[in-house]
């Protein structure tokens, strides 16, 4: 029939499209990916193209400007990139990239660590239940991994009521259900990674390339639980009189702050260290600038005060007293009444006043008149 709209799917295409930020079906939780060059046939690592060329290759591969839909961070001197996106369409296109148009072989994978959030719970009822059984019960609540914290007593590991849960995604729930009971979930901050061979941070004993030393005295000798070190403590990191495992020294506290910032913001360790170093440089520069300007400002203030006193003496004046220097019984007392200051014998306003017929308010002539 003439004038009826065309059937769905027919007719001219629409001249407008829905913006990405209004398409709610495309929005997902932030996903973190790892982009790196694929290894060659001999197993050697290959560098990625330069940043300008990489931007053009990514734009061609995903069909959009990477700067508008991807947040990228360079790592390992440009040999790999961390990509973050909240678009389902962009995520699927990135994961499908195997080769760029210039023939460069690459691999794009979900980041193995930054797509999980860790929380800790406390529950006494499950202290003797295996973690595999607990994981099978809470897996529908987005839990992907469970680890129990243990303590060593007399060389034997003992279970504690603390469970570390890993949740898929960047959202940490406030509570979960263990059976019929709701349990509170708190954010988990792991201890800083410290090597037990050399005492340094940011690497483990399996990848350590330094000599094995005693963490108490910093020298090379064998120790054990049965034969502990009895020498005076000497830290190998700062040469101070404490053990390298002491949690109160500044280096450990700085490493713990790095872990907290990393956990709170979902960053990698290189990103967090770069952020912390940048903030520390700003603070040190501000402190140095303040120390340099402070003596000059103090000398300037003293000179101004001396000149003010000399000008007051030349004019025959004295410096004005501030309100704090005035005594309490002077005019700076706002609560006092002017009538009370001028006539102390008169009552204050608002107080009881005698009637006019009171003898205390009659004059001498009035007394004579009344008595006569």
**For residue 266, what pLDDT band results from cuts at 50, 70 and 90?**
confident
Give the residue with greater pLDDT, 119 vs 307: 119
Query: SS3 of 34, please?
Result: strand
Q: How confident is the model at residue 17 (pLDDT cuts 50, 70, 90)?
A: low
The helix (H) or strand (E) run that includes residue 58 is helix 51-62
pLDDT at 93: 93
Confidence of residue 110 (pLDDT cuts 50, 70, 90): very high
pLDDT (average), residues 329-354: 49
Using CA atoms of 260, 262, 266, 272 in order, give the dihedral in degrees to the nearest 10. Answer: 150
At residue 288 the predicted structure's pLDDT band, cuts being 50, 70 and 90, is low
Q: Which sign, positive or negative, has the C-alpha torsion 308, 312, 313, 319? A: negative
Residue 178 confidence (pLDDT): 92
Kind of pairing between the strands at 181-184 and 143-153: unpaired
Average pLDDT over residues 25-33: 86
Q: Rounded mean pLDDT of 165-184?
A: 92
The per-residue pLDDT for 201 is 85
**Mean pLDDT across 200-225:** 83
Q: Torsions phi, psi of 368, nearest 5?
A: -65, -40
Least confident of 61-65, 88-92, 278-282, 321-325: 321-325
Most confident of 10-19, 169-178, 272-281: 169-178
pLDDT of residue 371: 64
Q: Where are the beta strands (DSSP E) in the chain?
A: 27-37, 71-75, 80-87, 106-110, 116-122, 143-153, 156-168, 175-178, 181-184, 186-187
* Res 300 pLDDT > 80: no
State yes or no: pLDDT of 292 exceeds 50. yes
List helix spans (H) across 200-344.
250-265, 269-314, 338-342
Residue 225 has pLDDT above 90, yes or no: no
pLDDT of 128 above 60: yes
Higher pLDDT, 359 or 81: 81
The reported pTM is 0.61
- pLDDT, position 134: 95
> Helices (H), strands (E): how many in the chain?
8, 10
Lowest-pLDDT range of 92-106, 123-137, 227-241, 339-353: 339-353
- Measured CA to CA, the distance from residue 29 to residue 169 in angstroms comes to 7
Tell me: the pLDDT tens digits for 49-59? 888 999 999 99
Q: What is the mean pLDDT of residues 200-215?
A: 85
Query: Looking at the domain covering 23-110, what would its CATH class be?
Result: alpha beta
Residue labelled with tokens 């190998």: 236
Q: Higher confidence at residue 66 or residue 293? A: 66
The proportion of the chain whose per-residue pLDDT surpasses 70, expressed as a percent, equals 73
Cβ-count burial 156-167 (b if 16+ within 10 Å, e if not): eeeeeebbbbbb
pLDDT score of 171? 86
| Alpha-carbon distances of 265 from 85, 217, 219, 279, 280, rounded to whole Å | 15, 37, 38, 16, 18
Average pLDDT taken over every residue of the chain: 78
Q: 10 Å Cβ neighbour count for 82?
A: 19
Q: Which residue has the higher pLDDT, 230 or 91?
A: 91
Q: What is the mean pLDDT of residues 171-197?
A: 91
């Amino acid at each position: 029939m003439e004038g009826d709209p065309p059937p769905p799917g027919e007719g001219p295409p629409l001249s407008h499209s829905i913006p990405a930020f209004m398409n709610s079906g495309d929005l997902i939780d932030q996903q973190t990916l790892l982009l790196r060059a694929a290894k060659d046939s001999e197993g050697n690592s290959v560098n990625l193209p330069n940043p300008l060329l990489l931007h053009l290759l990514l734009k061609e591969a995903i069909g959009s400007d990477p700067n508008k839909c991807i947040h990228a961070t360079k790592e390992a001197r440009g040999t790999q990139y961390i990509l973050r996106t909240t678009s389902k369409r962009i995520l699927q296109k990135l994961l499908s990239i195997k080769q760029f148009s210039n023939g460069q072989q690459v691999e794009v994978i979900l980041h193995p660590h930054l797509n999980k959030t860790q929380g800790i719970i406390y529950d006494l009822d499950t202290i003797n239940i295996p973690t595999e059984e607990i994981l099978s019960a809470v897996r529908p609540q987005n839990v992907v991994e469970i680890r129990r914290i243990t303590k060593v007593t007399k060389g034997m590991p003992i279970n504690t009521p603390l469970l570390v849960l890993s949740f898929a995604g960047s959202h940490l729930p406030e509570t979960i259900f263990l059976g019929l009971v709701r349990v509170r979930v708190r954010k988990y901050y792991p201890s800083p990674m410290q090597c037990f061979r050399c005492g340094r941070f940011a690497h483990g004993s399996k990848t350590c390339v330094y000599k094995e030393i005693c963490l108490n005295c910093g020298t090379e000798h064998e120790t054990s639980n049965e034969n502990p070190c009895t020498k005076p403590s000497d830290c190998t990191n700062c040469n101070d009189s404490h053990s390298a495992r002491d949690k109160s020294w500044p280096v450990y506290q700085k490493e713990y702050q790095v872990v907290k910032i990393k956990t709170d913001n979902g960053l990698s360790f290189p990103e967090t260290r770069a952020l912390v170093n940048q903030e520390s440089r700003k603070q040190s520069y501000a402190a140095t600038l303040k120390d340099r300007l402070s003596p000059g400002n103090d000398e300037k203030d003293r000179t101004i005060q001396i000149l003010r006193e000399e000008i007051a003496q030349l004019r025959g004046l004295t410096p004005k007293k501030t309100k704090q220097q005035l005594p309490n019984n002077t005019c700076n007392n706002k609560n006092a009444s002017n009538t009370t200051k001028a006539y102390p014998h008169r009552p204050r306003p608002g107080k009881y006043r005698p009637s006019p017929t009171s003898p205390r308010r009659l004059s001498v002539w009035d007394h004579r008149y009344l008595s006569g």
